[in-house]
Each structure stands twice: as structure tokens, then as C-alpha cells.
Amino acid sequence: MRLAWYCPSEGDGRYLGTRLPERAPSFDYLRSVVVAAERAGADEILIPTGDLNDSFDPAAPFAESWTTASALAATTERIRLLVAVNPAAIEPDLVGHQAETLWQIAPGRIAINLVAGGSPAGAHGAPERAHDERYARLGAMVAVLERRFPGPLYLGGASPAAVELAARVADTYLMWGEPPDAIAARVRGMRERTDRPIGFGLRVHVIARDTDRDASDAATALVSRAEVTGERASEYEGFDSVGQSRMNSIAADDAGWIEPGLWAGIRAVRGGAGTALVGSYERVAGLLARYADAGIGLVIASGYPHLEEVERVGSRVWPLLGARAGAPEVAST
């Protein structure tokens, strides 16, 4: 199992869901997070895409993925940049040209995360498109990338259209942090659909501390100043994302606990990945081992603030995985 980290392009801080982040997503700050991730042993960094901030106020600053990746490619040395791209407002041929150029800047260190968007609303002024129409457009972009871009392609999504496309083209299939048994079932299902090599990644938050109580207190504090629960609820109403629907429908108690160590309190204030592994370093490592047994070979983790938490995860959690840690699941293309 390999470690990847998340680039907080929407901002960062000790509290999630406030109107503005404590730390703006300046390039200097984002680069400091990526450099810290390199030092902590992360193999990859996910650079997200979107036109609305889904961690703070929707209108709060959000660094654009291609621009950020281009600057990071020229100022980092080892880490692979996993660049999220949504073709809603950009022609597939231009995406292919951009990806080809980015590979020339950092050969061997670029991967593309294929994103279709969570709702019909067009990003960056693009026209509205129905769910399957967006995936057809994504498929057209893949056809160009396969001609011009030699790097790996990652894809998430739980709808039939997403699963079909992933089975056909993805080097790594990404999932949000559902319980391990649910992840294992999805891994089995994908393996039954394709006879080619495919890896599996988990996108999840991590809140790890010396004790379970300390971690639980940190989770409570993280959302204690949230102000955007109304905005998130309104956004979810307009989504047609099957993956987001699955994330929001996972059964949890009143405090957000799905099971010991798996917490859904983040989904009330943040779109996308809405669950966290919460507990002592040993508990979190144990949960990660369960995901490894379920077939997960890559964990794209995040923690608030990302700068400090990547060091904690890299130094206190990952070594506890022992022989499970560090082995690549799918060779780079």
C-alpha cells in the first residue's frame, strides 16, 4: 500500500467549513505542503479541480489544477502529480496538448485524475450536461489522452457509466472512504468487469493521535466552527453523482460514527470525500490494513492542516503498516 497526499487547493487550517480558510491557497503554501509530503514519504499528491470551493464558502478562493500542477512540476523533484481534470469547459484536444506538455516538464511524474463533475451544472460557464453526457465527454478526452499522454489515468465514480469507463481505461480506480467490506465488494465487482491490470485507491481523511480519545476530540474540534452546512446541503440537492449519494447515505450514529474508527462528520461541511479514519495511530493503521486486505493499493489521505498532518501520518501511522507499506500496486506507464 502506497501513500499519497492531498493538495489543499481550496485552503487549509485547523477548522473545516468556516467561511474562509485560516490559510489561503497561495502557491507558496501549496508548494510547502507538497514538499512536506515528499519528505514524509508520499509517492503522489492529488491536485483537485472545481469551480466552487467545497471545503469552505463556495465563493472562497480555489487554486486551478492545471496552473498549480505546472508550477509544482517545475519546483518539485520526486513526487508524482495527480492532476484532476474536468473537460466540461475545455475541448479534449486541448486537454491532450496540456497533458503532453506537462509530461515534458516532469517526465514520469504526471498522472491524470479523470473527473466528470457531480451535477449537471456546467463548471466555468460550460453548458449544463446530463450525467451520462458528461461521461461521454470524459471518454472523448480519454481517447485523446491515450494518443498524446503516456502517463497513468485514474478515475473514480460509482454510476454504471463511471464503472464502465473505469473498467475500460483506468490504471487506478478510486473510491471514497466507505466501510472496508463495501470497498472489498466494489473491488471484486471491478475485477469481474475487466481482465486487464487495474489498481485501486482510497480517498479518505485521517485524524490520528496518541489515543482514540485525543483523535475523537480533534475530529470534534475540526468541525466545531463550521458555517457552511446550509450551502453543502443545497449543493447536494443538485448533485446527480452516485458516488456522492453513496457517501451521504452511509449509516452513522448521531455523532457521525459509522463504526469504531470510521467517522462521517466531515460530510456535513465538505463535498466529495466525507469520511475520516479517526483514532490512535495503531487503530488507524489497523483500519488501513483492513483496506489493504480489501484490495486497496493506494491511499490518498488528507488532514487538517495538511502541512502538519502529512508529517504525522508519514512518521506515526505509515511505519505501523510494516510490510504492507510502500510497494507500488501498478507500474507507471
In this model, does residue 332 exceed pLDDT 60?
A: no
| Residue 206 in domain | yes
| Residue 254 in domain | yes
- Average pLDDT value over all residues in the chain: 92
User: What is residue 329's predicted lDDT score, i.e. its pLDDT?
Assistant: 41
User: What is residue 330's predicted lDDT score, i.e. its pLDDT?
Assistant: 38
Q: From 173, 240, 236, select the one nearest 201 (Cα to Cα).
A: 173
In this model, does residue 246 exceed pLDDT 90?
A: no
| Residue 333 in domain | no
| Residue 21 in domain | yes
User: What is residue 243's predicted lDDT score, i.e. its pLDDT?
Assistant: 76
| Residue 332 in domain | no
| Residue 32 in domain | yes
- As for how many domains the chain has, the answer is 1
Quick one: average pLDDT of 75-89?
93
In this model, does residue 328 exceed pLDDT 60?
A: no
In this model, does residue 148 exceed pLDDT 90?
A: yes
CATH number, domain containing residue 192: 3.20.20.30
Quick one: average pLDDT of 144-148?
96
Digit-coded pLDDT (tens) for 31-69: 999 999 999 999 999 999 988 899 999 999 999 999 999
Q: Which residue has the higher pLDDT, 248 or 39?
A: 39
Q: Which residue has the higher pLDDT, 117 or 6?
A: 6
pLDDT band at 331 (very low <50, low <70, confident <90, very high): very low
Print the domain residue range for 136: 2-324
| Residue 44 in domain | yes
Looking at 27-31, 205-209, 261-265, 326-330, which range is the least confident one? 326-330
Digit-coded pLDDT (tens) for 253-301: 999 999 999 999 999 899 889 999 999 999 999 999 999 999 999 999 9
Looking at 56-60, 202-206, 321-325, which range is the least confident one? 321-325
Instruction: Tell me how far CA of residue 318 lies from CA of 2, 200, 216, 231, in angstroms.
Output: 9, 18, 20, 35
Supply the pTM of this predicted model: 0.93
User: What is residue 304's predicted lDDT score, i.e. its pLDDT?
Assistant: 98
